[in-house]
Amino acid sequence: MLSYQHIYHAGNLADVHKHSLLAWMLDYLTRKDKPVSYIETHAGRALYDLSADEARKTGEAAMGIARVRDWFAADHPYMKSLVQTAETDGENAYPGSPMIATQRLRDSDHITLAELHPGEHNALELALPTATCRRSDGFAMAHSMLPPTPRRGLMLIDPSFEIKDDYDTIPTHIRKYVRAWNVGVIVLWYPILTSAAHHNMLKTLQSDHPNAFRHEVRFPPARKGHGMIGSGLFVSNPPFGLSRTF
């Protein structure tokens, strides 16, 4: 959706869930002295100002990272990214997943990001000049470049789900990604909704990938009438130790 801008939701509890697990997985992948590829299909702008009118309007960051920051130890990879971002860009700055990947990965690793929204893409390029930032459909980009070089690595699929067909098409995309990149860690974020729109998608994913790791958290709606009541991650080829850590 070209109308979607994540600034309204940056730093909410779903971001905390997604980004804390992502930071841990990237930290795990970089423990070996071998380069990795990081691919993100719906990157956003990478860096968010939580004091901006858009973020303050929804209040989601106030109910998210502002409340739970102390949950994380100083040596957790996610907390390291939060501290680094505050030191570089100010106390109101929040790192999106592309920024976390840039901070946690090394010079030998390769980052490829897709963002279709023109304004978000421009901001992404400004925030991460060393990453490969493509203004393209993320699903198509991933199909075109798998398997990547280097072969080790992780892909994050984090759509807005404002395109309702995503719930039907994502399992097919992931099935093809896994077939093309059987050593890659493929991570899907999804919202847990009062409408249960995600249920059939998860049934298909679990049938296709019975050894995948699924992790969910539940939380109150950010505001009255808000349909998202939780956050989920579905990880194909999960890193060793992920299920014991979370």
pLDDT in tens, 108-124: 999 999 999 999 999 99
Which pTM value belongs to this model? 0.94
CB distance 59 to 174 below 8 Å: no
* pLDDT band for position 3 (cuts 50, 70, 90): low
Report the mean per-residue pLDDT for the chain: 93
Q: Is residue 158 flagged as an active site residue?
A: yes
Catalytic position from the list 15, 158, 165, 168: 158
In sequence order, which residues have a C-beta less than 8 Å from that of residue 157 and are 6 or more positions away?
41, 42, 138, 139, 142, 170, 173, 174, 186, 187, 188, 189
* pLDDT band for position 222 (cuts 50, 70, 90): confident
Q: What is the pLDDT of residue 29?
A: 97
pLDDT digits (tens, 9 = 90+) for 167-202: 999 999 999 999 999 999 999 999 999 998 899 999
